[in-house]
Structure 1
Amino acid sequence: MNSIARCAALLALSLTLFVPGPSGAADKDKKAQADAEMQAMMAKAKEAGTPGAGHEVLKNFEGEWTVASKSWMKPGDKPQQSAGTSTFSWVLGGRFLKQDFKGNWGGEDFTGLGYVGYDNVKKEYVSVWMDSMSTGIAQAKGQYDTATKTITDQGSFSCPIKGNVNYRSEWKILDKDKFSFSMYMPDPNGKEFRSMEMLYKRAK
């Protein structure tokens, strides 16, 4: 059952509980009011389920990319560098952007799969990420700053050593052919440091 159908079913149930069967002019008026409320609810649900301005921002990431990555285990470390490729494509009628990533990590093949979208109801970006190095799913939500052209997320993932780890990430649009992804995590003292930086360049 889709979101519109679920909302409509809930409204129909509530209206059924409070609107009696037609037995006179007053009851007919109540039924007409209930029908109008149902139509308004359906229109609102349809609007919430339709891609809008929030999804327009995500169009900047659509396409095929080459990726240069740097990662740090702790502050002051020499960065570990790697390369990869990534494809962003729309799914579910343009509601979510899917990322297929292929690269290497520590000399081993690495693949990742992510989804990002914009929740019209909560007015925030939502994303999930899973990859070949973990059985967990990272989840995040955030906002877009038009001045800096950056989506800033707050998220968490499960770490086999530290348990649940919170992080902050930034998707920064540099121009039509480049964007960067940066991740920040807490060091042993709880101070935030940059743990990853990825530069995406449009493949030619």
Structure 2
Amino acid sequence: MVLCLGMAAAFAIGPAFAGEKGTSPVAATSATSPNDSKATDLARPNANHNLLGELAGTWNYVLKISMGPNKPPIETNGVVVRQPIMGGRYFLADFDVEMLPGNDGKLEKANFKGKSIEGYDNVKQNFISIWIDNASTGPTIFEGNYDPASRTLTYTSETEPKLGQKTKVREVIKVIDDNHYNLDWYEEHGGHEIKTIEITYTRSPAPEL
């Protein structure tokens, strides 16, 4: 399906960083207790994982997909649910997209499903995201860094929609507040970077008891 890989990668990063403005990821430190080894300390979740954990929950999103120059974008929507796993070391996000653009550029039933696992690597000291879906057999792996001043996370990766056809991609996540954030997806074509996807996320209100 057209744009499926770009969509998959854009969803992969998913929600991130609802921490207070100015909160900065911290580097993993060596053990402070004589009974702890440095390896054990590196295996513990820290403030970086807590940043990811701030956005656990259910989110509604509106997705706009660029269809090319001088053409209006295609718009669709959906829901993503993310939750902590492995004792808060990672965060699993589930995506279920019913409608996506087909070969004619019109929305059609897609039955597109994907999962991402997000985390922070204490050894490499960067954020990571791994994406898998029902439209491909290979995972997409992203690495990124967070700017606390602008509350922005930037991920980079390289996709290969066809054998030998690699595309550099960049994803910029801008946190607006604890209940809203935006995502912009860029692809490099012919030496030029083009924005192809915009997603706005809104936290789903908790159900009334």
TM-score range, shorter chain: 0.7 to 0.9
Which residue, out of 144, 158, 168, partners 2:170? 168
Which residue, out of 75, 80, 83, partners 2:74? 80
CA distance in 2: counterparts of 1:74 and 1:55, whole angstroms: 37
CA contact (8 A) 2:63 2:198 kept: yes
CA distance in 2: counterparts of 1:151 and 1:68, whole angstroms: 19
Which residue, out of 116, 119, 139, partners 1:117? 119
Structure possessing the higher radius of gyration over alpha carbons:
1
Partner of 1:105 in structure 2?
100
Partner of 2:18 in structure 1?
none
Runs ≥4 in structure 1, deviation > 6 angstroms? none
Report the Cα offset of residue 117 of structure 1. 0.4
User: Considering only aligned residues, what root-mean-square deviation do their CA atoms show, in Å?
Assistant: 2.0
CA contact (8 A) 2:61 2:199 kept: yes
What residue identity is the alignment partner of 2:100? W
Report the Cα offset of residue 74 of structure 1. 3.9
- Greater RCO, CA 8 A, separation 6+: 2
What residue identity is the alignment partner of 1:199? T
Report the Cα offset of residue 198 of structure 1. 1.1
Partner of 1:196 in structure 2?
197
Aligned counterparts, 1:33-182, within 5 A:
43-103=37-97, 104-106=99-101, 107=108, 108-160=110-162, 163-182=165-184
**1:114-167 deviation digits (Å, cap 9, x = unpaired):** 111001111100111122222221111010000111110111222127622220
Gaps of 5+ in 2: 1-32, 102-107
CA distance in 2: counterparts of 1:46 and 1:183, whole angstroms: 36
CA contact (8 A) 1:75 1:193 kept: no
CA distance in 2: counterparts of 1:147 and 1:75, whole angstroms: 33
**SS of 1:45 mapped into structure 2:** helix
What residue identity is the alignment partner of 1:81? E
CA contact (8 A) 2:143 2:157 kept: yes
CA distance in 2: counterparts of 1:60 and 1:112, whole angstroms: 21
How many corresponding residue pairs? 165
CA contact (8 A) 2:93 2:115 kept: yes
| Pair 1:40–1:64, CA change in 2 (3 A) | same
CA distance in 2: counterparts of 1:154 and 1:76, whole angstroms: 27
CA distance in 2: counterparts of 1:60 and 1:88, whole angstroms: 11
**SS of 2:54 mapped into structure 1:** helix
Gaps of 5+ in 1: 1-38
Partner of 2:6 in structure 1?
none
What residue identity is the alignment partner of 1:53? A
CA contact (8 A) 1:136 1:157 kept: no
CA contact (8 A) 2:61 2:77 kept: yes
TM-score normalised per structure 2: 0.73
CA distance in 1: counterparts of 2:164 and 2:179, whole angstroms: 37
Higher helix share: 1
